[in-house]
Structure 1
Amino acid sequence: MADYTIEEKDGFTVLGIGTELTSDYTDFAGINKEKVDFWQTVQEDGTLDTLKAIAINDYIFAVNEAVNNKMMHYAGVMTEESLPEASRVIQFPKGDYLVVKGEAKTSDELHLTLTGIAFGEALAAVNDYAYVGGPNAAVVMGERNGVVFGEMWIPVVKK
């Protein structure tokens, strides 16, 4: 059984550096490979460190958002600052969120696991709420005892 709740969150902003996902939206293996490759690149080229340097907390966001009919994926942080290389300021609305908690050996594994549980199990189980679009994010919140932990945040509305 998935560990999930519905929580009200204040609106917040994430500054993201992203990539367009070009796999078909039903090609989960292709999408996951694109995401893993993207995260490997931003970790190796210093992009993630640049974002972390201006963050207001330790949270690292893996944001999924449809923009102009394109599937976009971003590495992001909460910040009040901007960067010339940032590709998007992502607004998350105030309201209810489906929150799925989890842990994994790596950040990549956590992103994929939380996304799979959230969209494959938890959303179907919350009968009183629906996801109607907008950005969603897997949030790496920290590490303890060699395990990465975090949450998936999906904005939902009451049916």
Structure 2
Amino acid sequence: MANYTVEEKDSFIVLGIGTELKSDYTDYAGISKEKSDFWQAVKQDGRLDTLKAVATNDYIFAVNEAVNNKMMHYAGVMTNASLPEASRVIQFPKGEYLVVKGEAETAEALSNMLTGIAFGQVLPEAKGFAYVGGPNTMVEMGQRNGFIFGEFWIPIVKK
């Protein structure tokens, strides 16, 4: 099984700028392209820099959340500030989280890899816990030796 840990986290808030993903939830290639296009847009038009300017740390969050039966994806940061550009304040609950760590050459590659490990390997094989919904996030934490490193956080419950 993939390398992962289960960690207790305090509740936290991520301020996000989002987009609705229109691809079917089983269309991995379509979802990937929509996310990639979205991240390119928020980097180019300055919205990501606006978020980073109010962040309480250097982490960048790529959040997935179902809202009103829509699949949403957000670029976000931890902050107590509000911005007119932001579309959602995302509340992550206090509790246990599945944490999968990794590094890759790009944030997109890291997100795809960690998502695949978490949802494709760890959760299907997990015996003692389950994901029951709620927001999940890939956290881009920094760079070292030319690679971006980060973690995927998924709230879980004990079975």
TM-score by length of 1: 0.98
1:23 aligned partner, one-letter code: S
- Show the counterpart of 2:11: 11
Unmatched tracts of structure 2, length 5 or more: none
Report the alpha carbon displacement of residue 104 of structure 1 after superposing the two structures with TM: 0.3
- Show the counterpart of 2:30: 30
User: CA–CA distance in 2 between the matches of 1:38 and 1:156?
Assistant: 27
- Show the counterpart of 1:116: 116
1:2 aligned counterpart, secondary structure: coil
Q: Root-mean-square deviation (CA), in Å?
A: 0.7
Report the alpha carbon displacement of residue 126 of structure 1 after superposing the two structures with TM: 2.2
Deviations 1:41-65 (CA, angstroms, capped at 9, x unpaired)? 1111111110000000000000000
User: CA–CA distance in 1 between the matches of 2:26 and 2:61?
Assistant: 23
User: CA–CA distance in 2 between the matches of 1:95 and 1:85?
Assistant: 29
TM-score by length of 2: 0.98
Task: Indicate if the aligned counterparts of 1:11 and 1:91 stay in contact, CA closer than 8 A.
Answer: yes
1:63 aligned counterpart, secondary structure: strand
User: CA–CA distance in 1 between the matches of 2:11 and 2:126?
Assistant: 22
User: CA–CA distance in 2 between the matches of 1:69 and 1:6?
Assistant: 28
Unmatched tracts of structure 1, length 5 or more: none
User: CA–CA distance in 2 between the matches of 1:89 and 1:145?
Assistant: 33
Q: Structure 1 residue runs of 4+, over 4 Å off?
A: none
Task: Indicate if the aligned counterparts of 1:3 and 1:102 stay in contact, CA closer than 8 A.
Answer: no
Share of identical aligned residues, percent?
75
- Show the counterpart of 1:140: 140
- What is the correspondence of 1:8-157 to structure 2 with a 5 Å cutoff? 8-157=8-157
1:137 aligned partner, one-letter code: T
User: CA–CA distance in 1 between the matches of 2:154 and 2:139?
Assistant: 11
User: CA–CA distance in 2 between the matches of 1:82 and 1:145?
Assistant: 34
1:23 aligned counterpart, secondary structure: coil
User: CA–CA distance in 2 between the matches of 1:64 and 1:24?
Assistant: 14
Deviations 1:19-42 (CA, angstroms, capped at 9, x unpaired)? 000000100000000001100111
User: CA–CA distance in 2 between the matches of 1:154 and 1:111?
Assistant: 13
2:35 aligned counterpart, secondary structure: helix
Report the alpha carbon displacement of residue 125 of structure 1 after superposing the two structures with TM: 2.7
Report the alpha carbon displacement of residue 139 of structure 1 after superposing the two structures with TM: 0.3
1:52 aligned partner, one-letter code: K
